[in-house]
Amino acid sequence: MPGKFVFTVIASTDCDNIMAVDGFSLLRRDRKGRRGVGVAVYVGDKYDNAVLHCSGDDELFELLWVSVRSDNTNVVGTLYHPPSPIYQTSALLDYIENSVGEINTKFPQAAVILAGNLNALSDTEIASCTSLISIVDQLTRCNSYLDRIYVSDIFYEHTMIVTSTVKSDHKAIVAYTGDVKQANRKDRTVVKYRKRSPTLMLCF
């Protein structure tokens, strides 16, 4: 299943050696025209992978499509749609629709996954223009569904929303198939103590 060998992130640095993860290849799409870095996809080293270029692309779009070859070819896309984009949102939606259409034509048996931080991009519009299925139904940042995963078929049995391992006010999404997993609990305990002054230390 796709979730066993691919995961997506928002890149936080432009240094590949800092972003490197043992056992995974890093594919990036750097941001153009504004501050920040862009998006990235990690693919397990044992799988062949390649960046896909679809017609109608714009360098301002932060959308990266990657083909991954296991028993068959699957396609994963990672997307960041900023709160104040410097492109027309309708143009991005058109590009996403065209991209999924081209992918389905070129790889008719492929599992297609689109994931990322979509901010105000309409969940309904994404599902409508691509026929992909939204599988995240929990809040990922405060009272908002900003981070989402869309799939071409229900091949994930479970979706978990967990606290990110990096400093972020966004939750992380874990989609997988198999036994139900439990997030490790982190309990916090507050302990009161009396600070010893140098004078008190002399009494011992």
Give the tens place of pLDDT for each residue, 86-145.
Answer: 999 999 999 999 999 999 999 999 999 998 888 888 888 999 999 998 887 766 566 666
Question: Between the CA atoms of 14, 16, 18 and 20, what dihedral angle is there, to the nearest 10 degrees?
Answer: 140
Full-prediction pTM beyond 0.95?
no
Q: Which residue has the tokens 């799409």?
A: 29
Average pLDDT over residues 179-204: 59
Of 112 and 38, more confident: 112
Q: Is the pLDDT of residue 173 over 50?
A: yes
Q: Is the pLDDT of residue 185 over 90?
A: no
Q: Tell me: the pLDDT tens digits for 136-146?
A: 776 656 666 67
Q: Is the pLDDT of residue 7 over 90?
A: no
DSSP string, 28-78: EEE--SSSS-EEEEEEETTSEEEEE--TT--TT--EEEEEEESSSEEEEEE
Q: What is the second-level CATH architecture of the domain 2-201? A: 4-Layer Sandwich (3.60)
Question: What integer pLDDT is reported at residue 202 of this predicted model?
Answer: 54
**How far, CA to CA in Å, does 64 sit from each of 53, 72, 146, 163, 177?**
9, 20, 18, 25, 24
- H-helix or E-strand containing 113? strand 112-117
Q: Is the pLDDT of residue 164 over 70?
A: no
